[in-house]
A and B are shown apart, each in its own frame.
Chain A
Amino acid sequence: MSERITKNMARNIYLGGAAFAILVFAGLTVDTVQRVPELSHSEKITESVAEGKNLWEVNNCVGCHTIMGEGAYYAPELANVFDRRGMQDEAAFKVYLQGWMAAQPMQEPGRRKMPQFNLSEEQVNNLADFLIWTSRIDDHEWPPNIEG
């Protein structure tokens, strides 16, 4: 194969192919950015949801958990934790999460440990609002079942 292709042809395939790929990807990016607000219900991003996302980040939650399948694989998926533990009831989920966060780290020998993050009651509610909002993103019905 390589005998029939000259160096100039190879270079043109590289430059032309790369330019084409960049154009396609740029076009799709523009379209995606326009459609994400609807798919993610961005109008429902309240101040509390935004603060929850910030707390998610500055406590490095993604260092153990996944969220929509991305992150570390050491602790459960949390994009659907509202469905799994909150039974679609926002108030019940907040009560659950307050209790869960307060109970860490659990004193069970050998079990994977979640640190104590010393969050205030309001901060845990922010985190809950962020996880509730995340659970409603249209992500093509992922994960396959409730276990994440």
Chain B
Amino acid sequence: MKYNSQMVAKNYFIFALILLAGEVLFGLILGTQYIAGDFLFPEIPFNVARMVHTNLLIVLILFGFMGATYYLVPEESERELWSPWLANVTFWVFAVAGVVTILGYLFVPYATLAEITYNNLLPTMGREFLEQPTIIKIGIVIVALAFVLNVGMTVLTGRKTVISIVLLTGLIGLAVFFLFAFYVPENLVLDKFFWWYVVHLWVEGVWELIMGAILAFVLIKVTGVDREHIDKWLYLIIAMTLISGIVGTGHHYFYIGTPTYWLWIGSIASAVEPLPFFLMILYAYNMAAQRRIEHDNKMALTWAKGTAVMAFLGAGVLGFLHTLAPINFFTHGTQLTAAHGHLAFFGAYIMILFTIISYAMPIMRGRPNGNGLKAQAVELKSFWMMVIGMLGVTSALVIAGTMQVFIQRMAGADSLSFMATQAEIVPVYTVRLAFGVLTLLGLLTYFYSFFVKEEAA
């Protein structure tokens, strides 16, 4: 580690991993409720478990992004962090706010939560993924401002690299687009239209800039490939991301009351969306093939390749599968959307966090060459358990969604109702749950790899 202030990243990474365990656990609760509808009712109704599941995911990714930023920005900028103190304060503020929010979901009925947090003064609650009480959203904005200030001051007063500028652009975009979470018009169509400004422009826009920057940083470190070369690839990837991703928002504007031109504009633009992810695969594998050093931390490179491949499968392939308007007419709002969402989030955003954590954590724990062979062997096992687990979960969901399309929507007069269709799918949901358990076991194995003792060399 070159700069002491990089150390602030450690808390962020550890907390992100703890939240990830909670996120997967609640995923298993939801998966069980798909099979046994009264599981944990009325203690934890489905909607509450789902809020916990999705909100934990978002918050853990934000913690991970912040940790990654605090780790790589000093090294890129060749100076200490502008204010390590501020970074530590925002960690605790954000951690406490996050925990309070989750406990609020679990122990207070949602309508009561809205009432006691004065949602009526500025109603922002009750929209998918943006369920946080308004006061918490204001807190998130304050934390984000402090974070962007800290990172911005470090980047702008230090050495400016393509990686740090792209990362900063992504982080500012993340903060700016979150502001649309405060706009909740009376008209449901406009509400939905601008809701996607947060959700889509985060996930298929600015977050990909952040992911690209983190991936570039790790690739430089573990392959020793020339920075000029890495930078060029990074520019091409994020160019494709924004060219396809911004107008590609239109693939959400097919059937929600928006004008007809979105049917073809959204289809065309989003058909290009797999391209940046495909470039990422070429990028990771080319850099690995051209590597000039043999880094002892093999796992960091394994995760880097893995995140490129899995993001392409999840965001690219599974997204493209139902992004064309005539197909989406039948798949919209089915488990196919859930399949795409699960593999895209895991492949792109969870695995990029594993990439940077696997690279940075050993260094922060005094092992500049990575963990020992035994620990890396355990970590490799966890890599495959989680990858196979998530591929299993999403394959099952693809089958479930396809069954919905054919049984509920395309069977003419014989079409079954929603609830009857769901009953038909229960065996598939059981397979999904089994692969979910494998994913959790993989995550626990990953945690165990941190504690593997090496014999003294």
Contact = CB atoms under 8 A, between A and B. Distances in A.
B186 A53 contact: yes
A100 to B, nearest CB: 13
Interface string B244-260: 01110110011111111
Contacts of A70: 128, 192, 256, 333
A59 B126 contact: yes
Nearest to B197: A29
A42 B187 contact: yes
A96 interface: no
A139 B255 contact: yes
Given A36-B258, A134-B188, A142-B329, A71 B128 contact: yes
A10 B38 contact: no
Q: How large is the interface on B (under 10, 10 to 19, 20 to 34, 35 or more residues)?
A: 35 or more
The B interface, classified by DSSP as helix, strand, loop or mixed, is helix
Nearest to A119: B111
Nearest to A16: B239
A63 B329 CA distance: 22
Contacts of A33: 190, 193
Contacts, number: 231
Interface residues of A, number: 71
Contacts of B416: 147
A145 B187 contact: no
A14 to B, nearest CB: 4
A64 B239 contact: no
Contacts of A86: none
Nearest to A60: B110
Contact of A56 (B126, B235, B249): B126
16 contacts: A7-B235, A13-B239, A14-B242, A18-B242, A22-B246, A35-B259, A58-B115, A63-B50, A63-B128, A73-B338, A74-B47, A112-B419, A113-B46, A140-B255, A145-B409, A147-B416
Given A73-B333, A113-B38, 7 more contacts: A21-B247, A40-B187, A60-B126, A111-B38, A113-B45, A113-B46, A115-B41
Interface of B: 33-34, 36-38, 41-42, 45-48, 50-51, 110-111, 114-115, 119, 123, 125-128, 131, 162, 184, 186-193, 228, 231-233, 235-236, 238-240, 242-243, 245-247, 249-250, 253-263, 265, 329-330, 332-335, 337-338, 408-410, 415-419, 421-422
